[in-house]
Amino acid sequence: MKKTLADINFKDKKVLVRADFNVPLVDDVISDDNRIISAIPTIQYLLDHDAKVILLSHLGRIKRSEDLKKYSLKPVAKRLAELLGTEVNFVDEISRVTLQTAINSLENKQVLLMENTRFADLENKRESNNDAILGKYWASLGDVFVNDAFGTAHREHASNVGIATNINESCIGLLVEKELAMLNKAIINPERPVVVILGGAKVSDKIGVIDHLLKVADKIIIGGAMSFTFLKAQEFNIGKSLIEEDKIELAKQYLQKAIGKIILPIDHLMSKEFVDQSGINSTDANIADDYIGMDIGAKTITLFNNYIKEAKTIIWNGPVGVFEMKNFNKGTLAICETIAHLNNVFSIVGGGDSAAAAIQSGFKDKFSYISTGGGASLELLEGKPLPAIEVIQDK
Ligand code: AMP
């Protein structure tokens, strides 16, 4: 068991908190502050326990110097201060004397947010490549490390693994603790039937999940572009739909290994172009040569919903159609609605697009848990250890 906040005395200590403030930003305006809201309980706990809180996070990808302005954490500091109801001292540095001086002058119950850790990526991707000197330097700025960034827990970066390996005391934060508890509840001794719904663009992203969850799940429902590789493996015509040719053989193997367990679409909403225009419902699982499968069809919605209604545990990752287009969001929204109206079911939504769809559907609060980490939740569901959690001290 990893150490949690309750295992450490934070009074008078400089506490480095790796949070996940990787929020969507356009012209300094945050369009979705869920990740900031999710970080509040840990920060508030530390303030209540007389710590000096030093926050670190990445934001976006930094490839060239023009990205620096676009991905500053300054707007996050402002929103954070509003949510916490306390001042947040933003330091536009990730090293140097200014940062050190600001940290050294922090008092108990004060919060400091330093600039985007990925600014270090401009120089040999030092943050993303877990540069040994950088991790050691950041670790030297504090007494204790709290990892509360679930979204990057599957990555070995200087700001998570680097700090954790170079500091005396470390633990996971409240968000990470909750993410691990919720995701593990769905896969370790879950209540049956377990229904997994997978969608999205690529089979290759989720192949590991299918492999691992075949052992846990009673049914694996596959929609979205992913389904076309499986349908092709069964020799259906898939027209111009998105497909991964090099995964057809693997799809065939899974279908043979799990006879009756993998449920595929039986009809589709199709379009001649990849644009937001009204679609045509196919008559069966085949798609005519010059059409693209854009969403699941009406019969498939009923089929999928019948399995979902029987479930006691639901794990959902990936939209079953091009849900960003209004004409092709029906399948995904129908699934949201069905799950939302179920009683006595434990429902987990993976991060990324399915989380966005759940929120967009207006039924956000009806799910048992919506993960803040797409990639990390997938890796956990694949049964892989998360490096930034593994490195945290045990109790
Ligand atoms: P992922 O990140 O793998 O969960 O993929 C999410 C993306 O899959 C979304 O942007 C969807 O638009 C896309 N997607 C879902 N269904 C389809 C489809 N039938 N054709 C093309 N893209 C799709």
Q: What is the pLDDT of residues 327-345, one digit of tens each?
A: 999 999 999 999 999 999 9
Q: Is 351 in the pocket of ligand 1 (CB under 6 A)?
A: no
Same-domain pairing of 369 and 256:
yes
Residue 208 has pLDDT above 90, yes or no: no
- With respect to residue 125, please indicate whether it lies within any of the assigned structural domains: yes
Domains: count for the chain: 2
* Per-residue model confidence (pLDDT) at position 303: 98
Q: Are 129 and 159 in contact (CB under 8 A)?
A: no
- Please name the helix (run of DSSP H) or strand (run of DSSP E) that holds residue 132, with its range, or none: helix 132-140
223 CA: nearest ligand 1 atom: 16
- Give 89-127 pLDDT, tens digit per residue: 999 999 989 999 999 999 999 999 999 999 999 999 999
Q: Are 108 and 50 in contact (CB under 8 A)?
A: yes
Same-domain pairing of 197 and 143:
no
- With respect to residue 219, please indicate whether it lies within any of the assigned structural domains: yes
- Give 216-247 pLDDT, tens digit per residue: 999 999 999 999 999 999 999 999 999 999 99
- With respect to residue 317, please indicate whether it lies within any of the assigned structural domains: yes
Contacts of 328 (CB under 8 A, 6+ apart): 269, 271, 276, 279, 294, 295, 321, 322
Same-domain pairing of 276 and 169:
no
Q: 393: which DSSP letter?
A: P
* Per-residue model confidence (pLDDT) at position 274: 97
Distance between CA atoms of residues 198 and 241, nearest Å: 17
Q: Is 322 in the pocket of ligand 1 (CB under 6 A)?
A: yes
Q: Is 294 in the pocket of ligand 1 (CB under 6 A)?
A: yes
Same-domain pairing of 28 and 80:
yes
Distance between CA atoms of residues 189 and 275, nearest Å: 43
Q: Are 91 and 98 in contact (CB under 8 A)?
A: yes
Ramachandran bin of 235, using left for φ above 0, alpha for ψ from -120 to 50, beta for the remaining angles: left
Domain of residue 68, residue span: 5-176
Same-domain pairing of 357 and 301:
yes
Q: Is 198 in the pocket of ligand 1 (CB under 6 A)?
A: no
CB atoms within 10 A of CB 45: 17
1 falls in which pLDDT band (50, 70, 90)? very high
Residue 316 has pLDDT above 80, yes or no: yes
pTM of the predicted protein model: 0.89
- With respect to residue 182, please indicate whether it lies within any of the assigned structural domains: no
Distance between CA atoms of residues 269 and 327, nearest Å: 9
Same-domain pairing of 208 and 144:
no
Residue 182 has pLDDT above 80, yes or no: yes
Same-domain pairing of 103 and 138:
yes
Domain endpoint, select from 176, 206, 226: 176
* Per-residue model confidence (pLDDT) at position 63: 95
Contacts of 350 (CB under 8 A, 6+ apart): 315, 316, 317, 318, 371, 374, 377, 378, 381
* Per-residue model confidence (pLDDT) at position 270: 98
As annotated, the active-site residues are: 35, 202, 352, 375
Q: Which of 322, 328, 371 to mutate to test the pocket of ligand 1 (most atoms within 8 A of CB)?
A: 322
Same-domain pairing of 112 and 221:
no
- Give 263-307 pLDDT, tens digit per residue: 999 999 999 999 999 999 999 999 999 999 999 999 999 999 999
**What DSSP assignment string belongs to 255-274?**
HHHTTTTEE--SSEEEESSS
Q: Which of 26-30, 117-121, 251-255 has the highest mean pLDDT?
A: 117-121
Residue 358 has pLDDT above 90, yes or no: no
Same-domain pairing of 356 and 284:
yes
Q: Please state, rounded to an integer, the average pLDDT across all residues of the chain.
A: 95
CA 98, chain centre distance (Å): 33
> What is the rounded average pLDDT of the residues 30-59?
96
38 falls in which pLDDT band (50, 70, 90)? very high
Q: Is 224 in the pocket of ligand 1 (CB under 6 A)?
A: yes
Same-domain pairing of 196 and 151:
no
Q: Is 308 in the pocket of ligand 1 (CB under 6 A)?
A: no
- Give 158-169 pLDDT, tens digit per residue: 999 999 999 999
Residue nearest to atom 2 of ligand 1 (CA): 200
Domain endpoint, select from 148, 176, 204: 176
Same-domain pairing of 128 and 270:
no
Percent of the chain with pLDDT over 70: 100
- How many A from CA of 321 to the centre of ligand 1? 6
- With respect to residue 184, please indicate whether it lies within any of the assigned structural domains: no
- With respect to residue 16, please indicate whether it lies within any of the assigned structural domains: yes
213 vs 127, higher pLDDT: 127
Same-domain pairing of 91 and 137:
yes
State the first-to-last Cα distance of the chain, in angstroms, to the nearest integer. 6
Report the CATH number at residue 268: 3.40.50.1260
Residue 36 has pLDDT above 80, yes or no: yes
- How many A from CA of 294 to the centre of ligand 1? 9
- With respect to residue 390, please indicate whether it lies within any of the assigned structural domains: no
Residue nearest to atom 18 of ligand 1 (CA): 225
- How many A from CA of 353 to the centre of ligand 1? 8
